[in-house]
Amino acid sequence: MRNLAEKIEAYFLRLLSASPHRHIDFCRKEVAEKFNCVPSQINYVLETRFTLEKGFFVESRRGGGGYLRISKVDIARNKPLLDAISLELGDKISQKSAEDFIDRLVLEMIISRREGCLLKVAVEERYFPGKNRETLRADFLKEALKAVIKNS
């Protein structure tokens, strides 16, 4: 049996796949009631399963009852690819976030599964010692992805 977070994630993914607009709007309290849980459980799912690195953007709207919106972000369609990669990676990135971003590029078929596997090994903590590891990892990943994409 799946745990509650997986059920909530699956629910949102089903709604997103059925949405013609590539986004869904919902009230956190209503979803919490549907799953018989506290609203903070919904927050946990949003913060861990619907991140930018995984291809989602979550925004909160206040007023008029308030709602949350989950949008599926497709970097290949929304902006020039290399600029999008640099912008989305930012100046620093953790190993986990880098791996999530690489998974997303594989899923969107921007890079191959093989290229993704190689990049995941290359962004491991052991290759980036010291205080600036997240900055070095971001710089490395940007340059590696530029090389892979330009030569594809």
Domain range summary for the chain, segments of one domain joined by +: 4-72, 75-150
* Prediction pTM value: 0.58
User: What is residue 45's predicted lDDT score, i.e. its pLDDT?
Assistant: 94
Measured between alpha carbons, how far is 51 from 101 in angstroms, rounded to an integer? 10
CA neighbor of 59 nearest in space, from 50, 4, 38, 86: 50
User: What is residue 22's predicted lDDT score, i.e. its pLDDT?
Assistant: 85
Q: Are 99 and 116 in contact (CB under 8 A)?
A: no
User: What is residue 151's predicted lDDT score, i.e. its pLDDT?
Assistant: 67
Measured between alpha carbons, how far is 101 from 60 in angstroms, rounded to an integer? 23
- Count Cβ atoms within 10 A of the Cβ of residue 46 and give its class: 0-12 exposed, 13-18 middle, 19 or more buried: buried
Q: What is the CATH number of domain 75-150?
A: 1.10.1200.150
**pLDDT tens digit sequence for 98-131:** 999 899 888 877 888 999 999 999 999 999 998 9
User: What is residue 7's predicted lDDT score, i.e. its pLDDT?
Assistant: 95
CB atoms near residue 25 (< 10 Å): 14
Quick one: tokens of 25?
């709007």
CATH number belonging to the domain at 4-72, selected among 3.40.50.720, 2.60.40.10, 3.30.56.130, 3.40.630.30: 3.30.56.130
Ranges of the chain whose pLDDT falls below 50: 1, 78
User: What is residue 17's predicted lDDT score, i.e. its pLDDT?
Assistant: 92
